[in-house]
Amino acid sequence: MVSPNSPETPGSAASASGSPRAIQDVVIRLAGNSQDGIQSVGGFLARLAGRSDQDIMTYMTIPSTISGGPSIFQVRMGTGDVLSAGDRADMLVAFYQHSYDAHIGSLRPGGVLVYDSDQVTPAADDNRFTNVAVPITTATVEAVGGTSKDKGKNIFILGLIARVFDLDVAKLSALIKERFGGKDESIVRNSMLAFDAGYAWPQNNLRDLFYRFEAVDRQRASSGRPQVTLDGNTAIAYGLIAAGVRHGAGYPITPWSSIMETLRVEFPKYGGIFVQCEDEIASISTAIGFSYTGQLAITGSSGPGLSLKMEALGWATMAEIPLIVVNVQRGGPSTGMPTNVEQSDLMQAIYGSHGDTPRVVIAPKNVEDCFYVAIEACRIAREYSTPVIILTDMGLSSRIEAFDEPDLPKLMVDPKADLSERGTDFKPYPLDKITRHAPPGARIASGKYPTVTGLEHDELGHPTGSPKLHTQMTAKRRDKIKKLAASLPAPEFNGDSSGEVLLVTWGSSWGPGLEALGRIRKVGVKAGHLHLRHIHPLPNGLEDSFKRFHKIVVAELNDEGLYGYGQLAMMLRARYANPSIVSVTKTDGLTFKVSELVAGVAKHIESTELDAALGVSRKSALATS
Amino acid sequence: MSATALATPPPAPGAPLTKKALVADHPTWCPGCGDFAVLASFYRVLEKLNYPHEKIVTFAGIGCSSRFPYFVNTHGGHFIHGRALPFAAGISLGNDDLHVFVFGGDGDGFSIGGNHLVHTARKNVNLTYVIMDNSVYGLTKKQTSPTSPLGFKSKTDPWGAIDQPINPMRTLLNSGATFVARSHATQVNHMTDMMLRAAKHPGFSVVEILSECVEFFEGAFDAANPRKGGAWNLVDEKKHDGTPEDASRHDITDEVAAFKLAQQAWPGSFGVFYENNTRKTKNVLEHDLIAKAKEKTKNASDLQVLQSTFARLR
Ligand SMILES: Cc1ncc(C[n+]2csc(CCOP(=O)(O)OP(=O)(O)O)c2C)c(N)n1
Ligand code: SF4
Ligand SMILES: [Mg+2]
């Protein structure tokens, strides 16, 4: 057998099939069942890219039923900035007939179909693709031998991909050894056997497929720190730890669970505690209790669980307790599409609960931002003594990306509670200042201990039915959030500063939005892209950006609702009373494809008087770009 | 709660804690409400415990009885209906130096908060919970409560309650609480004693106090009030003195015997039904986890731990 780790190395393989074709990025979709370990292939590729100078974004679906069932992993690797998961695959690896049937439509014409010829019979009359038959099952069994059956098919394919895309075999082998090194020695040996077999496989028409990533001069300034590769949920968890959060409570629900699992294991290393509670109500209650002791705490969930937390969230707003609530959005309502993405909890995050409950909502744009949004959320929660909701989504939660390791020594926040004695003038709810609670354990020089309460209260926390005080205290709770709004930086803006269309995105739609902007401008449309990270409160001054464009197209993964506008679009229209604000929405449970955004924008430009100025040719160019 | 496996610092130097320092807002309860006596007993309990003032926390859910924290001058507050226990668990686990007391009614604890009661108890979170059971919803003005007896005429059961009430003591024992006692608001000394013992118990301690709502369920607990012709039966606790009569006394560590007490016909007995000092508190168990984790990381600083985690993500 030819092993890439033995003298027969990529160089000699290259000579066998001529020189490689240069590519900038590639989208590979692996389709199989969840127990086939295709996620780990994605993981290896992601980490390889992290260790090379390649960006990576993965796209992963897992079935909501746990044992078996269809599962895919889509990885897009490139040497430039990879912004979206890729609209269509360049290569599809189909492990089963059902994988082929369900995913052949995602392969671009001219793309490469690699299928397990032991399992799949492709349509005989479909000649749009380069079909490559590989007996993945038998080849793996032959290579590994023994009793492991077809386990290792994933690593076989990894080897094959490494050969086709001329990946760094030494680094990949090192990753495989690191990954399985702690386990039974036979696992590493079998994995390497499967990998080598896949690497050596290319024969027949597969021999002609040989690519190499073009080296590009990267514009991005290097931080000098190495790249790390992780998913969005993990990034949030470590962001919270960096921000000094050491306490939390939660209840399992997909796709939030992995955050609580990480924190349950990690917190004790930092002297902290994460409690698994009996339900989401208990979880937020326990988290608020933790925060009340002067240590900012976290709870979280997905849509249904966030609904359960709403009453207590109202209390935290009233009592002015800092708190972090993570909501990993999925398709709703109810159990909905638990393993798909949606951005339909926006209104719930902003306006859920009862009464007037001003609070803060921020949304990360990619995996790296998950880390920094967590830090930003903690800063705001402490500074403004308020609950902050981090609105992330299923897309980000399981997606793996590589980014520069954060500057940890600079970012670490000391979690210590302030138990110093408070002076005789201490008031928990001063009307002229932002609340700074005295946690239990802190002496109060006056001997008058504060009550924190959900009843409307006076400055000392005593219940009051005074109409005047309720008005004043409602204003106090609102004004601090307005103060935050005034301090927020201008949102990320790209493209032309004025023109025909401004594309507005939030959350994980950032990448596809930015990529769509490039395509829109390429055909000559003057366009900008504005991405909102702070969603509530909105940063001040957006109206000026809006005024400079004829149409403001807000793209979001939720329904257009009864009135024809997505949730953010609805809010922006209410706030700015600007009729040029329109919506692009969808509810198929998948992240935006760049082409969908471009088409959505084209549709709206068509619908204005501006159509004439645009010209037919440009319009059709947009629609097909 | 103080004599626990967790170190409690000595009382603050200076004057002992007095009732004068502990009274706060004037209670808003109806004249004659049983809750006044619970409050008076609690002041005595705090005087006796003499904890550092700033380390006492008094919290509650929602209900007439849950107004309690406004009348006690300590750190504390008023959470939402039924959820004071998980909130208090956060306080207790968040800072082991604190002495956490939770007050609430029968609706708050056994109805809307019933599941939290079971789970906070089974986890043995170190705190003391006092249920002021008036067998009616007081604050919302006379609806049936989970402890209202069959036939009780309320606004939601004008013909008399038809749903089987729960047996509070059986529920508490079943939940896994490690200290379970029962008292009566007309017996100030007994209440004080029960709350004091509950406070000193390491772990989840609960005292159910029959506290009459004179407004909506007058005379509810007369059957246990000698002044109203009732029977005041005290639990006769085993003294472990080797005498023959001791054999028939109640062993508070015997769970089965405790269940038997809970099965007695109304009005039953009063006193400590059960105490288990062998089960570790969640506070201790979580600290064990922390100690183990710290041992593994060789007490690395927070920054070092996070840095090594990121190094593994390269
Ligand atoms: C979520 C919610 N539901 C209902 C209420 C209304 N409510 C307030 S107190 C109460 C019952 C109080 O009964 P109990 O706990 O026995 O206390 P008591 O007033 O009898 O002391 C109810 C139903 C509420 N405050 N919050
Ligand atoms: S209504 Fe009943 S429980 Fe409430 S204060 Fe009055 S007497 Fe007490
Ligand atoms: Mg009651």
Does residue B34's CB lie within 6 angstroms of at least one atom of ligand 1?
no
Specify the DSSP class assigned to residue A532. Answer: E
- Describe the strand order of the beta sheet including A527-532 as a list of residue ranges: A492-495, A527-532, A499-506, A549-556, A581-585
Residue B179 and residue B128: Cα distance in Å, rounded? 9
Specify the DSSP class assigned to residue B237. Answer: B
Residue B178 and residue B284: Cα distance in Å, rounded? 14
CA A351 to centroid of chain Cα atoms? 23
Residue by residue, DSSP assigns A387-420 as EEEEEEEHHHHH-EEEEEPP-HHHH--------P
Which CATH code is given to the segment(s) A12-220? 3.40.920.10
Q: Can you tell me the mean pLDDT for A568-578?
A: 97
pLDDT > 90 fraction of chain A, expressed in percent and rounded: 68
Range A492-624 has CATH code 3.40.50.920: yes
CB B220 within 8 A of CB B213: yes
Residue A83 and residue B134: Cα distance in Å, rounded? 62
Residue A170 and residue A5: Cα distance in Å, rounded? 7
Model pLDDT for residues B251-265, shown as the tens digit of each residue: 999 999 999 999 999
A101, burial (CB in 10 Å: exposed 0-12, middle 13-18, buried 19+): middle
Residue of B nearest to A239 (CA): B306
Taking Cα atoms as reference points, which of B291, B287, B184, B197 lies closest to residue B227?
B184
Query: CB distance A271–B94 less than 8 Å?
Result: no
> A261 Cβ partners below 8 Å, 6+ apart?
none
Q: Whose CA is nearest to atom 2 of ligand 1?
A: B81
Q: What is the pLDDT of residue A5?
A: 35
Largest CA distance in chain A: 87
pLDDT band for position A74 (50/70/90)? confident
CB atoms within 10 A of CB A433: 11
pLDDT band for position A620 (50/70/90)? low
CA angle, B184 then B188 then B189, to 5°: 110
Specify the DSSP class assigned to residue A13. Answer: H
Give the ligand with the smallest distance to the CA of B140. 1
Taking Cα atoms as reference points, which of A27, A10, A422, A402 lies closest to residue A235?
A402
What is the bridge-based pairing of β-strands A387-393 and A360-362? parallel
Residue A159 and residue A172: Cα distance in Å, rounded? 9
Residue of B nearest to A273 (CA): B286
CB A319 within 8 A of CB A452: yes
CB atoms within 10 A of CB A279: 17
Q: What is the pLDDT of residue A612?
A: 44
Residue B231 and residue B237: Cα distance in Å, rounded? 18
Average pLDDT, chain A: 89
Strand locations in chain B (E)? 56-60, 75-78, 99-105, 127-133, 179-184, 204-210, 233-234, 269-275
State in Å: Cα B138 to ligand 2 middle: 5
pLDDT band for position A617 (50/70/90)? low
DSSP-assigned beta bridge partners for residue B103: B60, B130
Query: Is B96 or A611 the better-scoring residue by pLDDT?
Result: B96
Q: What is the pLDDT of residue A219?
A: 53
Q: Can you tell me the mean pLDDT for A274-285?
A: 98
- A228-411: CATH topology: Rossmann fold (3.40.50)
Query: CB distance B70–A290 less than 8 Å?
Result: no
Q: Where does residue B35 fall: left (phi above 0), alpha (psi -120 to 50 degrees), or beta otherwise?
A: alpha
Query: Which tokens go with B217?
Result: 């369920």
Which among A234, A315, A440 has the least Cβ separation from residue B75?
A440
CB A355 within 8 A of CB A301: no
B211, burial (CB in 10 Å: exposed 0-12, middle 13-18, buried 19+): buried
Q: What is the pLDDT of residue A11?
A: 36
Model pLDDT for residues A2-34, shown as the tens digit of each residue: 333 333 333 333 334 568 888 888 899 999 988
Which among B53, B54, B305 has the least Cβ separation from residue A269?
B305
Specify the DSSP class assigned to residue A302. Answer: -
CB atoms within 10 A of CB A413: 16
CB B29 within 8 A of CB B58: no
CB atoms within 10 A of CB B269: 18
pLDDT band for position A213 (50/70/90)? confident
Atom of ligand 2 nearest to the CA of B141: 1
pLDDT at A83 exceeding the cut of 90? no
Residue A593 and residue A619: Cα distance in Å, rounded? 19
Model pLDDT for residues A345-381, shown as the tens digit of each residue: 999 999 999 999 999 999 999 999 999 999 999 999 9
Phi and psi at B3, nearest 5°, equal: -75, 60
Q: How far is CA A50 from CA A45, A57, A226, A258, in A?
A: 9, 10, 8, 22
Q: What is the pLDDT of residue A10?
A: 35
Does residue B136's CB lie within 6 angstroms of at least one atom of ligand 2?
no
Q: What is the pLDDT of residue B2?
A: 38
Q: How far is CA A283 from CA A505, A618, B76, in A?
A: 31, 54, 20
SS3 A612: helix
Residue A501 one-letter amino acid: V
Phi and psi at A565, nearest 5°, equal: -135, 140
Q: Can you tell me the mean pLDDT for A62-85?
A: 74
Phi and psi at A183, nearest 5°, equal: -95, -170
Residue B207 one-letter amino acid: V
Q: What is the pLDDT of residue A67?
A: 56
Residue located via tokens 């590519």: A23
CATH class, domain B15-277, is: alpha beta
Phi and psi at A567, nearest 5°, equal: -65, -45
Residue A106 and residue A112: Cα distance in Å, rounded? 11
Q: What is the pLDDT of residue A608?
A: 47
> A376 Cβ partners below 8 Å, 6+ apart?
A362
Q: What is the pLDDT of residue B14?
A: 61
Domain borders along chain A are 12-220, 228-411, 418-487, 492-624
> B309 Cβ partners below 8 Å, 6+ apart?
A238, A266
Q: What is the pLDDT of residue A179?
A: 83
Atom of ligand 1 nearest to the CA of B134: 20
Atom of ligand 1 nearest to the CA of B137: 13
CB A167 within 8 A of CB A161: yes
CB A604 within 8 A of CB A551: yes
Torsion, Cα of B25, B29, B32, B33 (10° steps): -120
Phi and psi at A524, nearest 5°, equal: 100, 5
Residue of A nearest to B21 (CA): A447
Q: What is the pLDDT of residue A178?
A: 85
Model pLDDT for residues A590-610, shown as the tens digit of each residue: 899 998 999 899 888 864 433
What is the bridge-based pairing of β-strands A21-23 and A25-33? unpaired
Q: What is the pLDDT of residue A220?
A: 54
Domain borders along chain B are 15-277, 280-314
CB A390 within 8 A of CB A372: no
Which among B56, B90, B93 has the least Cβ separation from residue A288?
B90
Residue located via tokens 């260790």: A51
B267: distance to nearest CA of chain A, Å?
Answer: 33
Q: How far is CA B104 from CA B62, B69, B229, in A?
A: 7, 10, 28
Roughly how many angstroms between the first and final C-alpha of chain B, as a whole number? 47
Ranges A51-60, A254-263, B301-310: which has the least confidence? A51-60
Q: Can you tell me the mean pLDDT for A92-100?
A: 95
CB A572 within 8 A of CB A554: yes
Q: What is the pLDDT of residue A601?
A: 92
Residue A150 and residue A426: Cα distance in Å, rounded? 69
pLDDT > 70 fraction of chain A, expressed in percent and rounded: 90
Q: How many residues does chain B have?
A: 314
Query: CB distance B115–A279 less than 8 Å?
Result: yes
Taking Cα atoms as reference points, which of A62, A81, A82, A83 lies closest to residue A72?
A62
CB A31 within 8 A of CB A70: yes
Query: CB distance B313–A271 less than 8 Å?
Result: no
Ranges A100-109, A178-187, A229-238, A411-420: which has the least confidence? A178-187
Q: Can you tell me the mean pLDDT for A527-547?
A: 97
Which among B90, B309, B314 has the least Cβ separation from residue A286?
B90
Query: CB distance B91–A289 less than 8 Å?
Result: yes
Residue located via tokens 């088409």: A599
Query: CB distance B90–A289 less than 8 Å?
Result: yes
CB A315 within 8 A of CB A343: no
Model pLDDT for residues A136-158, shown as the tens digit of each residue: 999 898 888 766 667 889 999 99
CB A249 within 8 A of CB A277: yes
Residue A93 and residue A96: Cα distance in Å, rounded? 9
Ranges A304-308, A588-592, B13-17: which has the least confidence? B13-17
